[in-house]
Amino acid sequence: MRTLRWIPLRSAVLRHHLLLAAAAGLAAFAVYAKSDLPLPLQAQSGVALTGLVTSDEEGPMEGVVVTARREGSPISISVVSDGEGRYSFPVSKLPDGDYGLKIRAIGYELLGPPGVDVRSGVTATANIKLRAAGNLEAQLTNAEWAASMPGSDQQKKFLLSCNSCHSYQPIVNSTHDAGQFLQVFERMAGYYPGSTFLHPQRLVGSARRNLGGGSGNAMGGEGGMTGDPRAKAAAEWLATVNLSKGPARGYPLKTLARPTGRATRVIVTEYDLPRKTIEPHDVILDSDGMVWYSDFGALFLGRMDPKTGKVTEYPIPLMKEGFPVGTLDLEADRDGNLWVGMMYQGGVAKLDRKTGKVQTWSVPKEWQTDATQQSFASPTFSHVDGKVWVKNSDRAQILRLEPSTGAWENFGTFTDPQTKRNIGSYGINADRNNNLYMLDFNAGNIGILDGATKKLEILRTPIPESRPRRGSVDAQNRLWFAEYDGNAVGVLDPATKQIKEWPVPTPWSNPYDVVIDRNGEAWTGSMMSDRIVRLDTRTGRFTEYLLPNPTNIRRVWVDNSTNPVTFWVGSNHGASIVKLEPLD
């Protein structure tokens, strides 16, 4: 049994529990009517549901994520037990109804109760009992697997390119030997990066994905995987951490500690999307409070009403028949129009939020190959000069589009003068003058490209080979960015040309993106630990919030209009959108 499995709420069982509860309530009334003690069924101030979380092993348990979902609802609400083992759901979060319960606590599973009835005017009580999990391996996050595996950090970093499509579970539970892993590498390199088990997509022609490193470090080449010594070494190592030698795991499992203190003061709302194949890669909010997402596996832009969970999809026209479909980067221009990179469709699209009309621009055909990939577009400050920055992952090219005329510029490929390697940008961010920050996923560089002179200045992160991935520009024109291999949060001040870094305390967090809020706190997450990381940049204090479900985190977003701020992210493999509300 897996801790994260939903436990079905049978109506017959529920009726039985309700009858028992009603009888208990009458008995309690008879006893308490003769005393000055408050009735146990009276509503606590603002609390709809509360209880204690305990186990025989620990007694009262702090840091257990408790989730309640009303029958038939696509929305679930989660809270975390405090230092005394108590959890509480506010009235505002749980409308009347019958709720199923589940928990997340590494090493434990739910013994009972499976559900509870919530009604206005009374505070429901459900004391939750846990027992030791029967299958600890099924609960481990990617970060916990990486920490558990024997081998060097450099060996383990090979896996940082695998989690785009799936967790590490299929790898560690496989029985492949080294030769079979090489065959798997060949096959995996031919899949679109937005592929999942539910919706695999093959690349076309000669296009191949990079395995085991950033742009320019792809394994294989003309000789294929079997002729690449790096691929052979990775395959031999993987055959030591899976089950190729037998059913017994040859190394102890390491787990992360449950949340404590401030990390338990949070409410998480998760909205299931209409189809399991939807991949909400980027999630942002517009000025009206509507939630928008790009779909990494389909040509749609999605809009969700956070009050109801209702989803509206806007189709994007197909531009290249037979090529993989999906969108990645989602950005807004000054007018609130939404832009997306169309990946292997070879272009970008804009949605006019007022009219609902979608317009597309295709990269000139003479520049295209089978590997042409527009993963990022940066229209944020296009009002400065009327131009939108676009990245072509193929050959690490930087392009620029003038939407009013449809004219394209190709800045070509940039090279690090010291290492002679290509600047393999992952994320690109326009600054407030519509120059361009380039995050070099091939090494540890941040490039600043002047849009007028076309000259590139390169700044190096203090952590070597940190592989900056994605980031955002703040009101002071500073670039906040995630160091994927460096396991750190960074900021570049263009005025001083200085970079400051904060290593994330949890190993193998591997942050993907960073955003700074109005209070000067930085937020990030990853495809590794199922945790949202909050950094007070003034004190260096980190808070890590555990999410209720496995969550393949990409783009992160903060709504500064609420108090405290509200964090949003898509669950790219979970077909859901997650809202996290810190209580302080």
Look at residue 180 in the predicted model and tell me its pLDDT.
97
Look at residue 212 in the predicted model and tell me its pLDDT.
80
Q: Are strands 479-483 and 468-473 parallel, antiparallel or unpaired?
A: antiparallel
Please give the average per-residue pLDDT across 350-361, as a whole number: 97
Please give the average per-residue pLDDT across 549-557, as a whole number: 97
- Maximum mean pLDDT: which of 5-14, 204-213, 292-301: 292-301
Query: Side chain identity at 385, as an amino acid letter?
Result: D
Q: How far apart are CA 572 and CA 121, in angstroms?
A: 38
The DSSP result for 166-210, as a single string, is S-SHHHHT----HHHHHHHHHHHTTB-TT--SSS--B--TT----
Q: How far apart are CA 247 and CA 140, in angstroms?
A: 18
pLDDT at 457 over 70: yes
Q: Which pTM does this prediction carry?
A: 0.91
| Order of strands across the sheet that contains 521-525 | 513-516, 521-525, 531-536, 541-546
Helices (H), 214-262: 229-241
Please give the C-alpha separations between residue 71 and each of 92, 103, 117, 276, 463, in angstroms, as whole numbers. Answer: 17, 17, 10, 19, 49
Let me know: does 367 contact 376? Beta carbons within 8 Å: no
CA 514 to chain centre: 11
Look at residue 222 in the predicted model and tell me its pLDDT.
53
Please give the average per-residue pLDDT across 498-524, as a whole number: 98
Domain locations in the chain? 11-137, 140-241
Mean pLDDT of the chain: 91
pLDDT at 122 over 60: yes
Q: How far apart are CA 499 and CA 487, in angstroms?
A: 15
Look at residue 141 in the predicted model and tell me its pLDDT.
98
pLDDT at 363 over 70: yes
The DSSP result for 60-88, as a single string, is E-SS-EEEEEETT-SEEEEEE--TTSEEE
pLDDT at 21 over 60: no
Among 471, 464, 506, 505, CA closest to 486? 464
- Of the two residues 13 and 434, the one the predictor is more confident about is 434
Does an H or E element contain 433, and which? none
Q: How far apart are CA 308 and CA 392, in angstroms?
A: 37
Q: How far apart are CA 214 and CA 217, in angstroms?
A: 6
pLDDT at 25 over 50: no
Count of CB atoms situated within 10 Å of the CB of 92: 10
Q: How far apart are CA 481 and CA 483, in angstroms?
A: 7
Q: Are strands 128-132 and 266-272 parallel, antiparallel or unpaired?
A: unpaired
Instruction: Give me the count of residues in the chain.
Output: 584
Q: How far apart are CA 227 and CA 549, in angstroms?
A: 40
Please give the CATH superfamily to which domain 11-137 belongs. Immunoglobulins (2.60.40.10)
Look at residue 219 in the predicted model and tell me its pLDDT.
75
Look at residue 53 in the predicted model and tell me its pLDDT.
98
For 180-233, what is each residue's pLDDT tens digit?
999 999 999 999 999 999 999 999 999 998 888 654 456 765 556 778 899 999
Q: How far apart are CA 119 and CA 99, in angstroms?
A: 11
Please give the average per-residue pLDDT across 254-260, as a whole number: 98
Does an H or E element contain 19, and which? helix 11-32
Peptide bond into 464 cis (omega under 30): no
| Order of strands across the sheet that contains 347-351 | 330-332, 338-341, 347-351, 358-362
- Tell me the three state secondary structure of residue 240: helix
Query: Side chain identity at 389, as an amino acid letter?
Result: W
Look at residue 227 in the predicted model and tell me its pLDDT.
80
pLDDT at 4 over 50: no
Please give the average per-residue pLDDT across 463-474, as a whole number: 97
Q: How far apart are CA 340 and CA 355, in angstroms?
A: 17
Does an H or E element contain 426, and which? strand 425-430
Only one residue has tokens 């009888």, namely 23
